[in-house]
C-alpha cells in the first residue's frame, strides 16, 4: 500500500464520522449501533439516506449540503477514495453525513429493518459478467428490503446502457413501481437540483465523452419470489480512463 493511501487511512481513523468495518473487523467486534444511527450518532430522527459504492462521496456530501433535514451515509470498501468526502465533510463541520467502510454485501449488519429511507447507487461497475454482483440485481433488492422502510426508494444514476437496461427489465419483471425514468437525464424535462447539480468524478468523465446519463427511481417491494429478467442485453463497448476494462467487455476503448 502506498504512503499516500496509508496517510489517508490514518486521517480517517481520527474522523469521528467514519466507521471502518471490513469483514474481519465486523466478525471480530460486531457493530452495536445497528438500529441506533439516528439516536446515537446523528442525534435526531431525520430520514437516513445511503449512497452505496460512494467512491469519493460526492453524492453523500453534496446531498447533505442540500438537505440539512436528512442524514446521509456513504458506503464503500475503498477507503482511499472515501477519504475525499470524509475530509471535506469533517473540515466543514457537517453533522448530517457519515461514512461506512465495508462490503455492501454486509449492509444488513449495520442497519435495522426500516432504518433507511432511500438508497442511491451512482455510476457503479455494471458487472456485465456476473448478475449477482450487480448492485441492482434481485439479490441486492432482497438485501435492501431488509433495511428500507415501507416507502423506501432506490435511485440508480449511471452511464451504462447495459446496467440501465438490466435494471429497467428487473424492475418491470418484478412489478416494482417506477417514479421516474430517463435515458438522457440532461436533455429530459426534469428540473431537480438533486439530480442535476451534483456530478461525480465518473459522471463528468462520461459527459465529456458525449455519453448520455441514465436515471431511474423506483420502489422495491417484497415479493414471494424475486425473478431475474430473461433478456439479452448488448454489452457496453467502452471503458473508463482508469479501469483496465469494464467487466464483461474485452473490446473497451
Phi, psi (degrees; rounded to nearest 5) at 153:
-120, 155
From the list 125, 184, 192, 224, the catalytic residue is 125
- Count of residues in the chain: 253
CA–CA distance, 181 with 185 (Å, rounded to integer): 9
Q: Would residue 125 show up in a list of annotated catalytic residues for this protein?
A: yes
Strand partners of residue 218: 154, 178
User: Cα dihedral sign for 222, 164, 133, 108?
Assistant: negative
Q: What angle do CA 100, 137, 78 make, to 5 degrees?
A: 25
3-class SS at 112?
coil
**Residue 111, all three cell numbers:** 442497519
Rg (CA), the chain: 18
Coil, strand, or helix at residue 83? helix
Give catalytic residues, as residue numbers.
125
Amino acid at each position: 500500500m502506498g504512503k499516500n493511501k496509508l496517510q489517508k487511512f490514518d486521517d480517517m481513523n481520527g474522523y469521528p464520522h467514519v466507521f471502518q468495518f471490513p469483514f474481519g473487523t465486523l466478525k471480530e467486534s460486531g457493530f452495536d449501533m445497528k438500529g441506533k444511527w439516528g439516536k446515537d450518532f446523528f442525534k435526531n430522527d431525520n430520514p437516513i439516506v445511503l449512497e452505496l459504492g460512494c467512491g469519493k462521496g460526492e453524492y453523500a456530501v453534496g446531498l447533505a449540503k442540500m438537505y440539512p433535514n436528512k442524514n446521509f451515509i456513504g458506503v464503500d470498501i475503498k477507503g482511499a477514495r472515501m477519504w475525499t468526502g470524509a475530509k471535506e465533510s469533517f473540515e466543514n463541520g457537517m453533522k448530517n453525513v457519515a461514512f461506512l467502510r465495508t462490503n455492501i454485501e454486509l449492509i444488513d449488519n449495520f442497519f435495522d429493518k426500516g432504518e433507511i429511507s432511500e438508497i442511491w447507487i451512482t455510476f457503479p461497475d455494471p458487472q456485465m459478467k456476473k448478475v449477482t454482483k450487480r448492485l441492482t440485481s434481485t439479490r441486492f433488492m432482497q438485501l435492501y428490503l431488509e433495511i428500507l422502510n415501507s416507502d423506501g426508494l432506490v435511485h440508480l444514476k449511471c452511464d451504462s446502457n447495459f446496467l440501465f437496461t438490466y435494471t429497467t427489465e428487473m424492475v418491470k419483471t418484478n412489478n416494482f413501481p417506477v417514479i421516474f425514468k430517463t435515458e438522457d437525464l440532461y436533455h429530459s424535462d426534469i428540473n431537480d437540483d438533486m439530480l442535476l447539480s451534483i456530478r461525480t468524478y465518473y459522471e463528468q468523465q462520461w459527459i465529456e465523452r458525449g455519453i448520455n446519463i441514465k436515471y431511474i427511481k423506483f420502489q422495491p417491494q417484497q415479493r414471494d419470489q424475486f425473478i431475474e429478467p430473461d433478456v439479452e442485453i448488448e454489452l457496453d463497448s467502452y471503458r473508463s480512463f482508469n479501469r483496465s476494462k469494464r467487466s464483461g467487455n474485452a473490446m473497451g476503448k
